[in-house]
């Protein structure tokens, strides 16, 4: 899922800073879908999404008169996927130190109420949002809390009947790298922004696949050029590194091995095609990515049974309770994030003076 904890996130394919009108158009339509349901997708939304995908990958595709028709089905699948993925996130939970003791999800992902409060001070996305928000400021800042989950083995104690066992190998679960994405005045607006970001994520995957193909082809061309130059040098006897066998062309010579390598590269280049990624191939790769959005971005319910120390329980041990339910987002690249739709009361968000005061106290 794209985003970040830095104060000014810059999208690598310039979708955010070069096409603001298209972005707001997409966001507006996603917002209507949130209210009206995604059973029927407006043609205007799919048209806007197609143009956004082309802008983010290969603008040359507009030279193909059929690009809209070819992309309509895969883009529709991608849009439907992100709408369902975001709509199925559970309702927002209050994220504040005062709510820490009453919500088991907060107790699972933060060590303490103080840890939660310290984490809030590092949410520059919220601070930037409030600095630019239209007055009067909203009472709550909705957004998506994301974090990484870590597991490590520890030695602890556990009860076996009435016997206390020591040095028992246990699994401790902790969460880190907390971030707060898509802050907005309402939950609906946050979900709308998350849908746009999820669609952009799929577009970036298509762009990466195109670049990887072009880079791989370029590497092969350069390797073939070097091998061909070496082979010509061997045949002319001008290579300083040529052996007698190479120059005389005897069986088992280096020239034969080079020719075999060049032939293998030629076969691989035949699979790639021309050096410049052709429009048809570029369009086909975008179709492949967007037609299988669940391959590149998925969400699944996550249930964790933890005790008060963050030790994973099997559900039958003493202290086991109902599992904590959250959501895990994962990408085809192996990135995994635990997410929780949140609501931060503005009065509970640390002010800038509070942050400075805490920093001065820490520094002495």
pLDDT in tens, 12-62: 333 334 445 455 556 655 665 544 445 578 888 899 999 999 998 888 889
Looking at residue 306, its pLDDT comes to 82
Tell which residue, 121, 129, 118, 117, has the closest CA to residue 9: 129
- Do both 175 and 254 map to the same domain? no
State phi, psi for 212 to the nearest 5 degrees.
-65, -40
H or E segment and range at residue 297 = strand 297-304
In this predicted structure, what is the pLDDT of residue 223? 66
What's residue 11's pLDDT?
39
Q: 3-state DSSP call for residue 233?
A: helix
Q: What angle do CA 36, 42, 45 make, to 5 degrees?
A: 110
Last residue of a domain, which of 224, 252, 286? 286
Domain count, the chain: 2
Residues 96 and 55 in one domain: yes
Question: What pLDDT, on a 0 to 100 scale, did the predictor assign at position 317?
Answer: 54
| pLDDT band of 195, cuts 50, 70, 90 | very high
Using alpha carbons only, what angle is made at residue 337 by residues 334 and 338, rounded to the nearest 5 degrees?
A: 145
Q: Could you count the other beta carbons within 10 Å of the beta carbon of residue 122? A: 15
Residue pointed to by tokens 């009453």: 102
193 versus 165: which is more confidently predicted? 193
Does residue 1 sit within a domain?
no
The three-state secondary structure class of 324 is strand
Residue 206's pLDDT is 87
Residue that finishes a domain, picked among 286, 305, 326 = 286
Q: Mean of the per-residue pLDDT values for the chain?
A: 77
As a whole number, mean pLDDT of residues 266-294 equals 73
**246 and 309: one domain?**
no
Are residues 280 and 352 both part of a single domain? no
Average pLDDT over residues 231-240: 55
Query: Which of the listed residues 224, 254, 286 is the one where a domain comes to its end?
Result: 286
233 within 8 A of 291, measured Cβ to Cβ:
no
pLDDT at 6: 40
Which residue did the predictor score with more confidence, 86 or 169? 86
Q: Which of 36-45, 108-117, 179-188, 261-270 has the lowest mean pLDDT?
A: 261-270
> Does residue 5 form part of some domain?
no
Q: Identify whether 134 is part of a domain.
A: yes
Looking at per-residue confidence, does 228 or 145 come out higher?
145
Residue 9: inside a domain: no
Expressed in percent and rounded to 5, the helix, strand and coil fractions of the chain are: 55, 20, 25
């Amino acid at each position: 899922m794209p985003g970040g904890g830095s104060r000014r996130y810059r999208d690598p394919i310039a979708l955010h800073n070069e096409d603001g009108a298209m972005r707001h158009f997409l966001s507006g339509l996603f917002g209507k879908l949130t209210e009206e349901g995604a059973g029927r997708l407006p043609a205007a939304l799919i048209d806007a999404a197609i143009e956004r995908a082309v802008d983010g990958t290969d603008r040359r595709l507009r030279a193909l008169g059929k690009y809209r028709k070819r992309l309509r089905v895969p883009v529709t699948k991608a849009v439907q996927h992100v709408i369902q993925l975001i709509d199925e996130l559970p309702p927002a939970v209050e994220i504040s130190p005062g709510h820490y003791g009453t919500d088991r999800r907060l107790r699972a992902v933060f060590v303490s109420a103080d840890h939660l409060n310290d984490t809030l001070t590092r949410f520059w996305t919220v601070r930037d949002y409030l600095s630019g928000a239209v007055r009067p400021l909203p009472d709550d800042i909705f957004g998506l809390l994301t974090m990484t989950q870590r597991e490590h083995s520890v030695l602890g104690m556990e009860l076996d009947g009435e016997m206390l066992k020591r040095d028992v190998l246990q699994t401790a679960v902790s969460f880190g790298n907390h971030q707060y994405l898509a802050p907005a005045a309402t939950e609906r607006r946050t979900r709308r922004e998350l849908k746009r970001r999820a669609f952009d994520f799929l577009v970036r995957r298509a762009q990466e696949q195109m670049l990887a193909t072009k880079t791989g082809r370029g590497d092969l061309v350069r390797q073939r050029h070097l091998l061909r130059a070496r082979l010509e040098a061997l045949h002319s006897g001008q290579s300083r590194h040529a052996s007698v066998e190479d120059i005389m062309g005897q069986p088992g010579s280096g020239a034969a091995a080079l020719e075999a390598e060049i032939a293998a590269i030629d076969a691989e280049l035949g699979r790639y095609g021309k050096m410049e990624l052709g429009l048809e191939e570029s369009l086909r790769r975008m179709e492949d990515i967007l037609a299988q959005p669940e391959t590149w971005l998925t969400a699944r319910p996550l249930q964790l049974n933890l005790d008060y120390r963050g030790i994973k329980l099997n559900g039958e041990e003493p202290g086991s309770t109902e599992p904590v339910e959250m959501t895990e987002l994962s990408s085809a690249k192996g990135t995994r994030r635990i997410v929780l739709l949140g609501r931060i009361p503005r009065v509970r968000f640390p002010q800038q003076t509070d942050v400075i005061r805490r920093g001065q106290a820490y520094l002495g």
